[in-house]
Amino acid sequence: MRRVCCLFLFATLLVTACDKPEPVPLQVGAHAISIAFPPDWEHLDFGDKHQFRNKRARISVEDFGFLGKNLDKAIERAMVMTREDGRREVASRDSLEITGRDARVIDTWDHLSHQYRKRYLFVINEKSLLVVSTMQGRFESMEKTFNELTASLAFVDSLGQAGLPDGGNQPE
């Protein structure tokens, strides 16, 4: 019985390890990053904006450019750019760190109904604001994927470190 339990546990761990997506290098505008996304999500590369989609659900990773050195002020400007500042209100705000950089995760919802939640991750890298956001689809069905994407997000110091061709050398 003990051997069967050990084999079952080993098989479960093996399947779980195989299901975990590997990080892939991306160039998102000025940002060299690596990020892991589930294999059932399609990746679309538009240069300064990348999208991940699964059926109707879409998550965006976008370079918003220089919006100031202060993260909170840059977030305010980004919300105006996305036209989210007047129709939505902040439901929650959390601070975290991504590869040594200060970041914010902000959930918003419709200011009248408190429905239609969206989640954003904001982080300044090399003076440029990177924004990860839920674009469309039911928030509840995207929340886990969004959290996994942002947990896997890492900035790299050079394109070579990210596995991207740049003709340069990797830092030692």
Cα 28 to Cα 50: distance, rounded to the nearest angstrom: 7
Tell me which residues of the chain have a pLDDT lower than 50.
Answer: 4-16, 158-172
CATH value of 22-162 in 3.40.1000.10, 3.20.10.10, 3.90.245.10, 3.40.50.300: 3.40.1000.10
| Cβ–Cβ < 8 Å for 113, 102 | no
Give the per-residue pLDDT at 143. Answer: 93
Give the per-residue pLDDT at 11. Answer: 46
Give the per-residue pLDDT at 4. Answer: 40
Q: 74 phi and psi, to 5 degrees?
A: -65, -40
Q: Which of 73, 84, 70, 157 is nearest to 120 (CA)?
A: 84
Give the per-residue pLDDT at 5. Answer: 41
